[in-house]
Protein backbone atom coordinates (compact mmCIF):
# COMPACT_ATOMS: atom_id res chain seq x y z
CA UNK A 1 0.00 0.00 0.00
CA UNK A 2 1.41 3.37 -1.02
CA UNK A 3 1.37 6.23 1.45
CA UNK A 4 0.70 8.71 -1.37
CA UNK A 5 -1.94 7.91 -3.97
CA UNK A 6 -3.35 9.51 -7.11
CA UNK A 7 -5.78 12.30 -6.18
CA UNK A 8 -4.20 13.11 -2.80
CA UNK A 9 -3.70 16.77 -1.93
CA UNK A 10 0.01 17.31 -1.27
CA UNK A 11 2.27 20.19 -0.26
CA UNK A 12 5.85 20.58 -1.47
CA UNK A 13 8.29 20.58 1.47
CA UNK A 14 11.56 21.28 -0.33
CA UNK A 15 12.91 22.80 -3.52
CA UNK A 16 11.93 25.64 -5.80
CA UNK A 17 8.17 25.17 -5.26
CA UNK A 18 8.37 24.83 -1.47
CA UNK A 19 5.06 25.63 0.22
CA UNK A 20 2.90 25.20 -2.89
CA UNK A 21 -0.01 22.78 -2.90
CA UNK A 22 -1.37 20.55 -5.63
CA UNK A 23 -3.08 17.27 -6.41
CA UNK A 24 -1.24 14.11 -7.42
CA UNK A 25 -2.01 13.42 -11.09
CA UNK A 26 0.02 10.27 -11.65
CA UNK A 27 2.44 7.95 -9.87
CA UNK A 28 5.56 7.17 -11.88
CA UNK A 29 8.25 4.50 -11.45
CA UNK A 30 11.32 5.02 -9.26
CA UNK A 31 9.50 6.97 -6.54
CA UNK A 32 8.43 9.93 -8.65
CA UNK A 33 5.05 11.54 -9.21
CA UNK A 34 3.33 14.27 -11.21
CA UNK A 35 1.64 17.01 -9.20
CA UNK A 36 -0.77 19.51 -10.72
CA UNK A 37 0.87 22.93 -11.10
CA UNK A 38 4.16 21.91 -9.46
CA UNK A 39 7.60 21.75 -11.12
CA UNK A 40 6.33 23.33 -14.36
CA UNK A 41 8.85 23.58 -17.19
CA UNK A 42 8.74 25.07 -20.69
CA UNK A 43 8.89 22.55 -23.53
CA UNK A 44 9.43 23.36 -27.19
CA UNK A 45 7.03 21.21 -29.22
CA UNK A 46 7.16 20.84 -32.96
CA UNK A 47 3.90 20.83 -34.93
CA UNK A 48 2.70 17.55 -36.44
CA UNK A 49 1.14 17.84 -39.92
CA UNK A 50 -0.45 14.38 -39.51
CA UNK A 51 -2.30 15.56 -36.38
CA UNK A 52 -3.61 19.11 -36.89
CA UNK A 53 -5.09 19.26 -33.37
CA UNK A 54 -1.68 18.78 -31.76
CA UNK A 55 -0.27 21.69 -29.83
CA UNK A 56 2.88 23.33 -31.13
CA UNK A 57 5.15 26.08 -29.88
CA UNK A 58 6.39 26.62 -26.34
CA UNK A 59 4.08 24.98 -23.81
CA UNK A 60 4.18 24.62 -20.03
CA UNK A 61 4.30 21.05 -18.77
CA UNK A 62 4.48 19.54 -15.30
CA UNK A 63 7.54 17.39 -14.77
CA UNK A 64 8.04 14.75 -12.14
CA UNK A 65 9.00 15.40 -8.55
CA UNK A 66 10.41 12.90 -6.07
CA UNK A 67 8.00 11.47 -3.54
CA UNK A 68 10.27 12.51 -0.64
CA UNK A 69 9.87 16.17 -1.63
CA UNK A 70 6.13 16.23 -0.87
CA UNK A 71 3.91 15.52 2.12
CA UNK A 72 0.21 14.72 2.23
CA UNK A 73 -1.74 17.87 3.15
CA UNK A 74 -3.74 17.63 6.36
CA UNK A 75 -6.72 20.01 6.20
CA UNK A 76 -7.26 19.87 9.97
CA UNK A 77 -3.79 21.22 10.81
CA UNK A 78 -3.31 23.08 7.49
CA UNK A 79 0.17 21.55 7.15
CA UNK A 80 1.89 18.66 5.46
CA UNK A 81 1.81 15.52 7.55
CA UNK A 82 3.41 12.10 7.76
CA UNK A 83 1.16 9.19 6.86
CA UNK A 84 1.16 5.77 8.48
CA UNK A 85 -0.62 2.53 7.64
CA UNK A 86 -2.59 0.57 10.19
CA UNK A 87 -4.73 -2.55 10.07
CA UNK A 88 -8.24 -2.29 11.50
CA UNK A 89 -9.96 -5.06 13.47
CA UNK A 90 -11.78 -6.29 10.35
CA UNK A 91 -8.44 -6.75 8.52
CA UNK A 92 -8.76 -3.65 6.32
CA UNK A 93 -5.59 -1.56 5.90
CA UNK A 94 -6.06 2.20 6.10
CA UNK A 95 -3.86 5.30 6.02
CA UNK A 96 -3.82 7.75 8.93
CA UNK A 97 -2.14 11.04 9.80
CA UNK A 98 0.53 10.48 12.42
CA UNK A 99 0.10 13.85 14.18
CA UNK A 100 -3.69 13.81 14.65
CA UNK A 101 -4.31 10.05 14.37
CA UNK A 102 -7.20 10.71 11.93
CA UNK A 103 -7.85 8.53 8.90
CA UNK A 104 -6.80 9.89 5.50
CA UNK A 105 -9.38 7.82 3.61
CA UNK A 106 -12.74 8.78 5.04
Encode pLDDT of 33-83 as tens digits: 999 999 999 999 998 889 888 888 999 999 999 999 999 999 999 999 999
Q: What CATH code would you report for 9-97? A: 2.30.30.30
| Stated pTM of the model | 0.85
Which pLDDT value is given to residue 90? Answer: 94
pLDDT > 90 fraction of the chain, expressed in percent and rounded: 87
Q: Is it the case that residue 25 has pLDDT exceeding 80?
A: yes
Q: Are 73 and 10 in contact (CB under 8 A)?
A: yes
Scored b (16 or more CB within 10 A) or e, 4-27 reads: beeebebbbeeeebeeebbebeee
Amino acid sequence: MNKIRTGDPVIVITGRDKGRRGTVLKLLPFGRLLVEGINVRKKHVKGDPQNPGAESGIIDRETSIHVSDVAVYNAATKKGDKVGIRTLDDGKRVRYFKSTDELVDI
